């Protein structure tokens, strides 16, 4: 397996173009199951997760073609017909979001058999809200031997769905299913993440009638069929925040382009509070830090527009060198501090109690061997390593490859000392 070696201490100077959002791209790819015409997605990130979903979609009958378009990477997805409505365990377990093919399969064919995604390192992550939403839309759902068997032979019917708490995946799933239902659906207490707006824009370009996406009430008037469309994937706000934090940790001046400040405003405010200079532009931002030690600040993760849970590990990395004690409260996932013991291997002082981590800033971090435990945690370790003395070796970087495109290239272009060591194919301990 590959590893990443980082020698800390280099300041970052330069520009980093932000890629299309992984979390949007994979839901948009699933939307291609809803039409027999081609869906062309531009500004596509090229990641392990998008490749994995492409594999699943091909099994279901989608022709997936990756192109280098005039404005960057594109993917054209064409599902003339569904040849199989089965999403097997070996694919769904590798990426939970694959589960979101269930709704489109029922909407298009009236039946589906999709594996339950199973547990994951950052918590139990059940799919009960997804299943309740599909039931409300009229699907009959049975669970046997780890699979969801869903039937709606006469099609789905619009419904009022009030989510008991905010779930990004369940809101997206309900939207993907309701666009082809008979009648109107109203989703309340819906997630407001920008990826919801992106999915609605794409579905509307395909002929759907979705309004209110990006607010907590989404109204979907079902239509009989959807058609092909071209849609550009929004900027990856987690990649944006990650590189903003990398620049703050290493010091220097980095301009992030092809992205939006409003997507990460909650983070930028906290970074400014800590003493980082942020200049906002129409197409991104410039992050500056010159020498002075940062101040410890408190953060709590929350649904959008709150502080993103997917930036919590990276922010914790920044706080390891801040002056004072930072309290980081995780409210979205119950087991999302697995990076804390790994950061401690670099010399960080972190005490975790339940959903709260207290980070007492230290003067220096020392490079060490560390292990990536999940996608966002892995990049938190990279950020810490940028400011650590000596070399840090991060193993299990397959986690990182799920969601960060050409990370070592993007950081090296700004002067960071980051290189990938290609593995010999042997599994690591």
Active site residues: 120
Q: How many CA atoms does the CB half-sphere of 276 hold within 13 Å?
A: 31
CA distance 398 to 410: 17
Q: Which is nearer to ligand UD1, 130 or 396 (CB)?
A: 130
Per-residue mark of binding to ligand UD1, 397-416 (x: CB under 6 A): --------------------
Stretch that binds ligand UD1, among 62-70, 125-133, 198-206, 253-261 (CB under 6 A): 125-133
Q: Is 396 in the site for ligand UD1 (CB under 6 A)?
A: no
CA distance 239 to 383: 12
Q: Is 316 in the site for ligand UD1 (CB under 6 A)?
A: no
Minimum distance of ligand UD1 from residue 272's CB (angstroms): 23
Do residues 401 and 13 touch, judged by C-beta distance below 8 A? no
Do residues 258 and 283 touch, judged by C-beta distance below 8 A? yes
Given candidates 78, 93, 111, 125, which one binds ligand UD1 under the rule CB under 6 A? 125
Given candidates 254, 267, 332, 386, which one binds ligand UD1 under the rule CB under 6 A? 332
Minimum distance of ligand UD1 from residue 165's CB (angstroms): 6
Q: Which is nearer to ligand UD1, 102 or 127 (CB)?
A: 127
Q: Is 40 in the site for ligand UD1 (CB under 6 A)?
A: no
Do residues 9 and 418 touch, judged by C-beta distance below 8 A? no
Q: In what order do the strands lie in the sheet with 299-300?
A: 299-300, 325-329, 356-360, 349-353
CA distance 204 to 224: 13
Given candidates 74, 198, 310, 342, which one binds ligand UD1 under the rule CB under 6 A? 310
Non-local (6+) Cβ contacts of 21 within 8 A are 45, 194, 195, 198, 233, 234, 235, 236, 237, 238, 239
Give how many residues touch ligand UD1 by CB under 6 A.
Answer: 20
Tokens for 257?
């382009």
Per-residue mark of binding to ligand UD1, 162-201 (x: CB under 6 A): -----xxxx-------------------------------
Report the interface residues with ligand UD1, using CB under 6 A: 23, 26, 96-97, 123-130, 167-170, 309-310, 332-333
């Amino acid at each position: 397996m590959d590893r990443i070696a980082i020698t800390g201490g280099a300041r970052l100077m330069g520009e980093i173009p932000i890629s299309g959002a992984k979390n949007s791209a994979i839901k948009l790819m699933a939307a291609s199951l809803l039409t027999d015409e081609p869906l062309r997605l531009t500004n596509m990130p090229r990641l392990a997760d998008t490749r994995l979903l492409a594999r699943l979609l091909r099994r279901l009958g989608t022709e997936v073609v990756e192109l280098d378009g005039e404005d960057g990477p594109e993917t054209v997805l064409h599902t003339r017909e569904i040849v199989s409505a089965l999403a097997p365990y070996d694919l769904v377990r590798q990426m939970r979001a694959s589960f979101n093919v269930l709704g489109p399969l029922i909407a298009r064919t009236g039946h589906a058999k999709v594996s339950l995604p199973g547990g994951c390192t950052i918590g139990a992550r059940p799919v009960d809200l997804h299943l309740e939403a599909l039931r409300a839309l009229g699907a009959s759902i049975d669970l046997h031997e780890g699979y969801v068997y869903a039937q709606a032979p006469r099609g789905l019917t619009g419904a009022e769905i009030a989510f008991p708490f905010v779930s990004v995946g369940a809101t997206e799933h309900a939207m993907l299913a309701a666009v082809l239902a008979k009648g109107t659906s109203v989703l309340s207490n819906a997630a407001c993440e920008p990826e919801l707006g992106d999915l609605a824009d794409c579905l509307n370009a395909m002929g759907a009638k979705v309004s209110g996406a990006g607010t907590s009430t989404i109204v979907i008037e079902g239509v009989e069929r959807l058609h092909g469309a071209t849609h550009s994937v929004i900027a990856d706000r987690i990649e944006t925040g990650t590189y903003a934090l990398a620049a703050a940790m290493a010091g220097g001046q980095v301009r992030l382009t092809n992205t939006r400040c409003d997507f990460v405003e909650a983070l930028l405010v906290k970074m400014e509070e800590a003493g980082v200079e942020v200049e906002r532009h129409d197409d991104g931002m410039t992050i500056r830090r010159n020498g002075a030690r940062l101040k410890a600040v408190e953060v709590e993760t929350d649904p959008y527009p709150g502080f993103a849970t997917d930036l919590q590990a990276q922010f914790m990395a920044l706080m390891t060198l801040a002056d004072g004690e930072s309290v980081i409260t995780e409210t979205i996932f119950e087991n999302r501090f697995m990076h804390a013991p790994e950061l401690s291997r670099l010399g960080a002082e972190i005490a975790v109690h339940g959903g709260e981590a207290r980070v007492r800033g230290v003067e220096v971090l020392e490079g060490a061997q560390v292990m990536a435990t999940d996608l966002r945690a892995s990049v938190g370790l990279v950020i810490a390593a940028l400011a650590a003395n000596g070399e840090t070796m991060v193993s299990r970087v397959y986690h990182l490859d799920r969601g960060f495109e050409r990370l070592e290239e993007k950081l090296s272009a700004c002067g960071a000392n980051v290189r990938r060591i290609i593995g010999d194919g042997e599994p690591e301990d």
